[in-house]
Amino acid sequence: MRRRTLPVACVLGLALCCPSYAGQPTTITVRVVDGRNGKPYAHFPVRIFFYKLKDRNGFKSLAEARANDAGTAIMKTDAKGEVTFKLPVPLPEQLDINPTPYACGSGIFDTRAVLDRGVVGENGCRGELRKMNVKFQATQGRVIIFAAPIGFWEGVFH
């Protein structure tokens, strides 16, 4: 009897002590914040691209970008300005999160960084929030990105 319980206990202990992202469905939560005033954007469309490899220097062609595409998802935020995406398996190396059409800051993030500690995007929006130097903090599995309506001329030259 004792010989059977020891291997089972060891396997169970390893499973509990060594979490892995590989075989289980993993989710991330994206919070879209108005970059001008810090309020959440409710019922706002968010598009996320999953890339197999990191594009440290940018993809050299559209064909190269498509070859690294691991999927795309589009969803709307809830009343709190949040949306939860299920990540594909195997995990993509990089996430490109785009709150269309009002993004004002980079939305390209390392998947491992998002899952391990959470990431706050850069606030490139014009407004009082940038001047006040307000700090946002994300937790594991969460991304905070900033958005604001863009004017006609900003849209033309963006």
Pairing of strands 26-34, 69-76: unpaired
Measured CA to CA, the distance from residue 53 to residue 131 in angstroms comes to 35
Split at pLDDT 50, 70, 90, the class of 158 is low
- pTM of the predicted protein model: 0.72
Res 155 pLDDT > 90:
no
Q: Is 64 part of any domain?
A: yes
Domain interval for residue 141: 23-157
Task: For residue 127, give the CATH number of its domain.
Answer: 2.60.40.1120
pLDDT at 69 (0 to 100): 75
Res 36 pLDDT > 90:
no
For residues 18-24, give the mean pLDDT.
Answer: 46
Res 89 pLDDT > 70:
yes
pLDDT (tens digit, 9 = 90+) per residue, 62-73? 777 777 777 888
Q: Is 13 part of any domain?
A: no
Q: Chain-wide mean pLDDT for the chain?
A: 77
Q: Is 11 part of any domain?
A: no
Q: Is 39 part of any domain?
A: yes
Higher pLDDT among residues 41 and 128, named by residue: 41
Q: How many domains does the chain have?
A: 1
For residues 91-118, give the mean pLDDT.
Answer: 85
Measured CA to CA, the distance from residue 81 to residue 39 in angstroms comes to 8
b/e map 53-85, b = 16+ CB within 10 Å: eeeeeeeeeeeeeeebebeeeeeebeeebbbeb
Split at pLDDT 50, 70, 90, the class of 154 is low
DSSP readout, 66-96? HHTEEEEEEEE--TTSEEEEEEPSSPPSEEE
Q: Is 62 part of any domain?
A: yes
